[in-house]
Structure 1
Amino acid sequence: MVKEIVIAVALGILNTALVTLSIIGNAGGTSFGMAIQTLIFWILSLVPLFVSGLGFGVRSAAISVLTSTVVAGLAIGMPFAVAYAMIAGLPVILLVRQALLWRESDGIRYWYPADYLLMWWAGICIALTLMAMGLLSFDDALRQGLIDGFDQMLTQVEEMQGVAPQISGAEFVLLMPQYLGPMWGLFILLSGCLAQGLLVRFKKNIRPTPELTKMGLPVWLALAFIAATVLSVVLDAAFPLLGAIEITLVTLFFIQGMAVVHVVSHRWSARPFILGAIYVATVMMVWMVLIIAILGLLETWVGFRRRFAVSPRQEED
């Protein structure tokens, strides 16, 4: 008990240290290298919280989040600490709680399914978007400061490139929430995967890693995806919440599409090379992500994995 508390506190302190490093790195300049460094530290900062929860339980995760909040309040400032606890600590605790749910039948333990976990994650992305929208709506000083900053940045871009920007600072700030929620949600998802992989590597994981190849998103979610896409085309205007829903659902069905690719590719002779090429293509070309997301959407009705099922001996995580 005491050992677990000590570990949880240490992981909470490590979380704050990584957050502080990301802030220091961001203050050191605005170069591309600094931006990448800051991004890496932001993602890594969440890993200790997930390690605490997925390795030692929900109570341990809560202790780590509380420790991180207190230390960040002393080192950085209480407003930042509380905000970070809301956008990082609470989502981690919620996802850990759901991930560690299980039921037993005939002596077999069934863990909370991957598709349900991803739907909770999608809800978190939407909640983060609503928080960002609320903050920008009620804090006039913050909103105006962001508008002025982006207007200045866009003016500098115009002077350097000689091309007038197609968007104003006010329009940019209006669209920010629809990207901030899903983007931060993606950081949370990546951090959870890294933490689980680390725990599995050292055999400290409480639950086995969810098998994404067996996930199956419900039909109503596919219909919601189609409805959101049609609505955005018909309205032809900027609605941050609708945009965030679209981005989040594209991510979900992209993951399901990749699950289809992994299952179907068992029959391919050059499977490792082709999978590697697909992953590289998705990083470099947005349209590839959309194609795989459409594949995941079609999977809901067509059932490619069922049609191209292989023997259990050929399956892999």
Structure 2
Amino acid sequence: MPTAMLVALGGGAVSALLYVSVLFAGVGALILGYLAPLPLFLVGLWFGVPATLIAGGLAAVLVLSATGGLLGPLGYVVTGAVPAAFVARQALLARSTAKGDVEWYPPGLLLLGLTGLGLVAFFVAVLLALGEPGGLEGVVRRTLQGMARQLGAPGDAPPPPEAFWLAPAMPGFVVVSWLVMTIVNAALAQGLLMRFHRNRRPPMRLVAMELPGWVVLAFAGASAAAAVLPDGLDFLALNVALVLSLPFGLAGLSVVHAFANRQSAKVALLVGFYLFLFLFGWPLLLMVGLGVIEQWIGLRRRWARVGPDQEDE
């Protein structure tokens, strides 16, 4: 059997095992569930889309056998197999330039493609919830109320659905969380392949990521619409803005990495920054703002021209 087929079948089996581990091992295995797409990304970035489809198809069948229902494999396909196939296809696209060099698909456009998948998933959820009272926002509020009832003391009345002020933004946060999980798994897969010299494309450097200018206008438009549109439409605009904030958050991080590259204590600076980021959380908002500013000013390009050992005149 060809190596690609063996790796695809093995990757699919491991991915399915990681995915269903959360169902049988509980919350303690949640990290394994987050890593479920990793084998698919390894297969895809190594052998391409066909191998990814084989691995994802086998994993979906195994998840179906383990769960006995369609919800499990459907969730697996949407959150794992589809993004892995998309990333494998786009990341391995390349063309020859006039100088004879190989030009790979830009990381910024790949990120925007994933963001588009997140927006599609959000609007599909909106359509599926049209028949529910209050639409998707109502579903989210009632779900949070049910969770509060389960976590509360017996006999205590749960807060009413209106008490969950964060509910309108929850779909956007869920989509962003899923996209971050996807990006982390893809980055881990590419890093592992590079470690064992099995990567087909060179590394996708965060500092080299470029976003097209129209994304700023889309993000600004969605943010403004969330502030002025009436009930219902503001919910849609708010969540679109939240999902579109992800590329700018990563653009802000790329500025931090570019600044760190100019310092002698690069590793210590980045470790301290990420610890601060994950401990407090709110600096993520600053990263989004920094990413928007980067689109207009181009700090990374200026620093790249100056170089780490020159003065910025």
CA contact (8 A) 1:55 1:205 kept: yes
Residue 42 (1) aligns with residue 33 (2): yes
1:167, distance to aligned residue in structure 2 (A): 4.9
CA contact (8 A) 1:154 1:169 kept: no
1:244, distance to aligned residue in structure 2 (A): 2.8
Matches within 5 A, 1:1-317: 2-26=2-26, 34=27, 37-38=29-30, 40-79=31-70, 80-105=72-97, 106-138=99-131, 150-155=144-149, 165=159, 167-168=161-162, 175-235=169-229, 237=231, 239-309=234-304
Q: For the residues of structure 1 that align with 2:185 and 2:224, how far apart are their CA atoms? A: 32
1:235, distance to aligned residue in structure 2 (A): 3.4
Distance of aligned partners of 1:192 and 1:163 in 2 relative to their CA distance in 1, 3 Å threshold: same
Greater alpha carbon shift after TM alignment, 231-240 vs 283-292: 231-240
1:85, distance to aligned residue in structure 2 (A): 1.5
1:277, distance to aligned residue in structure 2 (A): 2.1
CA contact (8 A) 1:55 1:204 kept: yes
Q: Which amino acid aligns with 2:17?
A: A
CA contact (8 A) 1:126 1:182 kept: no
Q: Higher relative CO (CA 8 A, sep ≥ 6), structure 1 or 2?
A: 1
Q: For the residues of structure 2 that align with 1:145 and 1:50, how far apart are their CA atoms? A: 32
1:211-268 Cα shifts (integer Å, max 9, x gaps): 2211111111011112222222223756443233222222211111111121123333
Partner of residue 30, structure 1? none
CA contact (8 A) 1:46 1:188 kept: yes
Q: For the residues of structure 2 that align with 1:67 and 1:96, how far apart are their CA atoms? A: 17
CA contact (8 A) 1:150 1:169 kept: no
Give the match's secondary structure for 2:102: strand
1:110, distance to aligned residue in structure 2 (A): 1.0
1:102, distance to aligned residue in structure 2 (A): 0.1
Distance of aligned partners of 1:186 and 1:135 in 2 relative to their CA distance in 1, 3 Å threshold: farther
Give the match's secondary structure for 2:129: helix
Distance of aligned partners of 1:25 and 1:137 in 2 relative to their CA distance in 1, 3 Å threshold: farther
CA contact (8 A) 2:40 2:56 kept: yes
Give the match's secondary structure for 2:35: helix
1:17, distance to aligned residue in structure 2 (A): 0.6
Q: Percent identity between the aligned chains?
A: 28
CA contact (8 A) 2:261 2:308 kept: no
Distance of aligned partners of 1:81 and 1:139 in 2 relative to their CA distance in 1, 3 Å threshold: farther
CA contact (8 A) 1:148 1:169 kept: no
Q: Which amino acid aligns with 2:19?
A: V
Q: For the residues of structure 1 that align with 2:158 and 2:67, how far apart are their CA atoms? A: 38
Q: Which amino acid aligns with 1:153?
A: M
Q: For the residues of structure 1 that align with 2:40 and 2:256, how far apart are their CA atoms? A: 31
1:159, distance to aligned residue in structure 2 (A): 5.5
| Aligned length, in residue pairs | 303
Q: Which amino acid aligns with 1:301?
A: W
Give the match's secondary structure for 1:45: coil
Q: Which amino acid aligns with 1:128?
A: A
CA contact (8 A) 2:145 2:159 kept: no
Greater alpha carbon shift after TM alignment, 13-22 vs 268-277: 268-277
Q: What 5-or-longer segments of structure 1 have no aligned partner? A: 27-33
Q: For the residues of structure 2 that align with 1:128 and 1:145, how far apart are their CA atoms? A: 16
Partner of residue 29, structure 1? none
Q: For the residues of structure 2 that align with 1:116 and 1:257, how far apart are their CA atoms? A: 16
1:298, distance to aligned residue in structure 2 (A): 0.8
Give the match's secondary structure for 1:134: helix
1:201-220 Cα shifts (integer Å, max 9, x gaps): 11111111212211111111
1:278, distance to aligned residue in structure 2 (A): 1.7
Distance of aligned partners of 1:78 and 1:301 in 2 relative to their CA distance in 1, 3 Å threshold: same
Bigger proportion of residues as helix? 1
1:165, distance to aligned residue in structure 2 (A): 4.8
Q: RMSD between aligned alpha carbons? A: 3.1
CA contact (8 A) 1:127 1:181 kept: no
Distance of aligned partners of 1:176 and 1:13 in 2 relative to their CA distance in 1, 3 Å threshold: same
Q: For the residues of structure 2 that align with 1:41 and 1:229, how far apart are their CA atoms? A: 35
Q: For the residues of structure 1 that align with 2:144 and 2:237, how far apart are their CA atoms? A: 23
TM-score, L = length of structure 1: 0.83
Q: For the residues of structure 2 that align with 1:266 and 1:48, how far apart are their CA atoms? A: 31
